[in-house]
Amino acid sequence: MSEYIKQTTSINDLSCLLQALAAKGYGEVENHETAQSLVGYHGDIRPEKAEVIIRRKFVGGSSNDLGFKKDAKGNYEFIVSQFDKGKHNQKWFDDLKTEYAILKAKKIAKSKGYELLQTKQKDNKTVLTFKVQA
């Protein structure tokens, strides 16, 4: 049985998380009010629970469910099995966080009425420039 690992994040916006996961190819994601159990490769119910779950059939052959569990601060903790860390490694996790950050920054800017002037890549970084109304 592949043990689960938990990774803390500053991700706290559900809609942006779901959009970021969709951008990473996970459009079929469960979103629960109350955390539900994750299921392992053998169909075994695992003690780990999460509100946002990607079921193993969408993750890959021999995979376990992936989960995002809200912590006491309202941030989502990424729960991934040792086995699935091969595909969902630090690079994958960083890409997800980057996608989330872009979506969240645009959302905040829009809520403040800022106008997006430019999006560009510089030194492997994404640079968003907004105009703030006087």
Partner 1 sequence: MAQKLVTVTIAENGELEVETSGFQGKGCKAVTEAFASMGKVKSENTKPEFYSGGGATGTVSTGS
Site of interaction with partner 1 (CB under 8 A)? 9-11, 94-98, 100-102, 104-105, 108-109, 112, 114, 117, 122, 124-134
Sign of dihedral through CA atoms 9, 15, 16, 21? positive
**Min dist. Cβ of residue 85 to partner 1 (A):** 17
**Min dist. Cβ of residue 54 to partner 1 (A):** 19
Q: Among residues 34 and 111, whose Cβ is nearest to partner 1? A: 111
- Return the structure tokens found at 106: 């645009």
Calpha distance 44→62 (Å, rounded) = 13
3-state class (DSSP) for residue 40:
coil
**Min dist. Cβ of residue 19 to partner 1 (A):** 14
Q: Among residues 4 and 78, whose Cβ is nearest to partner 1? A: 78
Q: Among residues 55 and 85, whose Cβ is nearest to partner 1? A: 85
**Min dist. Cβ of residue 129 to partner 1 (A):** 5
- Cβ neighbours for 63, distance < 8 A, ≥ 6 positions apart: 41, 56, 81, 83, 84
Q: How many residues does the chain have?
A: 134
Q: Among residues 42 and 72, whose Cβ is nearest to partner 1? A: 72
- Return the structure tokens found at 130: 């907004």
3-state class (DSSP) for residue 93:
helix
